[in-house]
Amino acid sequence: MKISDILAQNKPSISFEVFPPKQETGLDGVKQAAGAIAVLEPSFMSVTYGAAGSTSKLTIEVAKDIRDLHGVTVMPHLTCVASTREQIRDMVTKIQAEGIENIMALRGDIPKDGVIAHDYLHASDLITDIRAIAPDLCIGGACYPEGHVESEHKKDDIDFLKFKVDCGLDFLTTQMFFDNNIFYNFLYRIKDKGINVPVIPGIMPVTTAKQLSRSVQLSGTNVPERFRAIVDRFGDDPDSMRQAGIIYACEQIIDLIANGVNHIHVYSMNKPEVAKAILDNLKYILE
């Protein structure tokens, strides 16, 4: 099923994200975790692409496994900054040949050594190519309610986002955020720019203090005082922190649904117990 069709259904739903192993040896463990999330029947599952395409084969393999064994709609991610046009053509053709209908098109982070392939400078270049190779694929792209870390001015970021959407995106998924007001504000700003595709908020249930500091370091996401106090108070006690992090994420989701946002993507980080706890907490809201 195309994610654009799922989003067109006017009812609350949750999707989950998993990541592939760094090496083939970890594949069974990841497939098991992904399977345990898939049996919870999310509306779809996305599978990330290793930095610089290091695990590209494994992304498709995990996605196929979820779809074939559990019948869940999947969306593999694809990054382009370290790939040639030929490599991208191969990947897109492969995804299409597997009968997968969705793809998340990303630039990817610039590798630490600064080595890029130079065929693709921005995600918009990739989106244009995917549209040409596989016109029927449903294509998602990334957006950043607090601005992308490389972007000096939020206004430029939104101008580039408008260009990216116009290259052929069907929907956007946001970077994680911990303050819903930032997301609502972003929705107003992009609407003002004429960006009208659906925007899926990405919610990260933070279950350890270490996970929070790593995520913030990578994304520059603002941590509201209320959440900081939770991490300060419970960060040293794994059970309490996990419980508090899940409840905080559920509160964000409830507020989003109450404000008319129907679909939420959860960065479930290969943790079936976290995905299950979220769905259990939202059981009646999602029914």
Given the rule CB under 6 A, which residues bind ligand FAD? Answer: 48-49, 51, 77, 79, 104, 106-109, 122-124, 142, 148, 150-151, 157, 160, 164, 173, 175, 202
CB 130 within 8 A of CB 92: yes
Least Cβ distance, residue 153 to ligand FAD (angstroms): 9
For residue 57, the minimal CB distance to ligand FAD (Å) is 14
Cβ at position 122, least distance to ligand FAD in Å: 4
Q: 45, 69 in Cβ contact below 8 A?
A: no
With beta carbons less than 8 A apart as the criterion, state whether 27 and 18 touch: no
Q: What is the CA radius of gyration of the chain?
A: 18
Q: Residue 8 or 110: which CB sits closer to ligand FAD? A: 110
Residues acting as catalytic residues: 17
Strands (E), 168-231: 171-176, 199-203
Tell me the closest approach of the beta carbon of residue 107 to ligand FAD, in angstroms. Answer: 3
Choice between 53 and 235, CB closer to ligand FAD? 53
| Structural contact between residues 241 and 213, judged by C-beta atoms closer than 8 angstroms | no
Sign of CA dihedral 25, 94, 269, 284: negative
Residue placing its CB nearer to ligand FAD in the complex, 103 or 244: 103
Rounded CA gap, 29 and 25, in Å? 9
